[in-house]
């Protein structure tokens, strides 16, 4: 899990920063101290909120105080790193299992809705608008507008928000897109419901896709592009 070293490094940096602030001498006024304390809590919370890690907050604060005020923590850095790795692994497994269950329930329910078509691979899609152009092949480049969301409805990506359509070879995207795009005549708008097995699988992605995440994309195929694609 590539997240673990970054998380450990984050905690080390945070401890150094807090220790440095504590060693600066005079305290600032109470309001500024409280604001900074809350900000540090937010920073650490932001790094942990999607990891599935469960914390004992009393022990969390005790660990901070032991490093900052006493410089005598009850475990070594190596032991702390191992404990963090164990907690991150358990958190990952917890999220993975929860997402797999949510994905299965969602796709089963969604497959029964009117207008939803399920292919042999498990891809689900619905036609919002059917164009009358050519269908791309796996070797073509396409120009599309799209919005990507999780099954919770939270948006994670959008070419529209980016301000310009995306252009890419059909065979360079996740399998659910590769299959789905070839079903679309140019000028069409489809909605893809992509199982994690046709997306980022049990490992998820560093771009913010959790493990075992089914993904929803509303995709408009604008054109099949001519010429060479620059990687």
Distance of CA 14 to the CA centre of its chain: 23
- For residue 151, give the 3-state DSSP assignment: coil
Measuring CA to CA, which residue among 133, 116, 126 is closest to residue 217? 126
Mean pLDDT for 172-185 is 98
Structural domains of the chain ordered from first start:
3-92 (no CATH), 116-225 (3.10.50.40)
Sign of the torsion angle spanned by Cα atoms 151, 102, 200, 123: negative
- pLDDT tens profile 188-213: 999 999 999 999 999 999 778 999 99
| pLDDT above 70 (res 6) | no
Looking at residue 229, its pLDDT comes to 52
Comparing 52-66, 128-142, 161-175, 190-204, which segment has the lowest mean pLDDT?
52-66
d(CA 98, CA 177): 24
Looking at residue 2, its pLDDT comes to 36
Mean pLDDT for 84-111 is 94
Mean pLDDT for 36-51 is 85
Report the greatest alpha carbon distance in the chain.
72
Q: What is the mean pLDDT of the chain?
A: 87
Looking at residue 14, its pLDDT comes to 53
Measured between alpha carbons, how far is residue 118 from residues 71, 134, 187, 216 in Å?
A: 60, 22, 22, 14
d(CA 89, CA 71): 28
What values do phi and psi take at 216, rounded to 5? -120, 130
Looking at residue 82, its pLDDT comes to 92
Q: Which two tokens stand for residue 104?
A: 């299965």
| pLDDT above 90 (res 13) | no
Question: Which of the two residues, 8 and 138, has the higher pLDDT score?
Answer: 138
Mean pLDDT for 74-102 is 91
| pLDDT above 80 (res 49) | no
Looking at residue 3, its pLDDT comes to 41
142 contacts 171 by C-beta, under 8 angstroms: no
Measuring CA to CA, which residue among 202, 194, 156 is closest to residue 175? 194
Measuring CA to CA, which residue among 216, 219, 224 is closest to residue 127? 219
Q: Which two tokens stand for residue 82?
A: 């191992």
Measured between alpha carbons, how far is residue 101 from residues 98, 137, 171, 199 in Å?
A: 5, 34, 29, 16
Mean pLDDT for 90-108 is 94
SS (H, E, C) 162-207: HCCCEEEEHHHCCHHHHHHHCCCCCCCEEEEEECHHHCCHHHCECC
Question: Which of the two residues, 227 and 105, has the higher pLDDT score?
Answer: 105
| pLDDT above 50 (res 22) | no
Mean pLDDT for 39-62 is 86
Facing residues of 225 across strands?
141
Mean pLDDT for 46-68 is 86
Percent of the chain predicted with pLDDT > 70: 85
d(CA 69, CA 56): 20
pLDDT interval class at 24 (50, 70, 90): very low
């Amino acid at each position: 899990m590539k997240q673990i070293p970054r998380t450990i490094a984050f905690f080390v940096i945070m401890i150094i920063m807090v220790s440095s602030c504590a060693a600066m001498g005079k305290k600032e006024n109470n309001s500024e101290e409280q604001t900074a304390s809350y900000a540090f809590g937010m920073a650490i919370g932001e790094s942990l909120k999607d990891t599935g890690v469960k914390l004992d907050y009393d022990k969390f604060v005790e660990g901070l105080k032991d490093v900052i005020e006493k410089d005598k923590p009850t475990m070594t850095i190596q032991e702390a790193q191992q404990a963090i790795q164990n907690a991150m692994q358990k958190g990952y497994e917890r999220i993975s299992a929860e997402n797999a269950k949510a994905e299965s329930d969602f796709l089963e329910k969604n497959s029964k809705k009117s207008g939803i078509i399920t292919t042999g691979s498990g891809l689900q899609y619905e036609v919002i608008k059917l164009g009358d152009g050519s269908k791309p092949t796996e070797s073509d480049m396409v120009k599309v507008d799209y919005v990507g969301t999780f099954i919770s409805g939270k948006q994670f990506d959008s070419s529209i928000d980016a301000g310009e359509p995306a252009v890419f070879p059909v065979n360079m995207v996740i399998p659910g897109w590769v299959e789905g795009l070839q079903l679309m005549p140019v000028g069409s708008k489809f909605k893809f419901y992509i199982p994690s097995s046709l997306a980022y699988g049990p490992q998820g992605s560093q771009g913010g896709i959790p493990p075992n995440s089914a993904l929803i994309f509303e995709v408009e195929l604008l054109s099949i592009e001519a010429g060479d694609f620059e990687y």
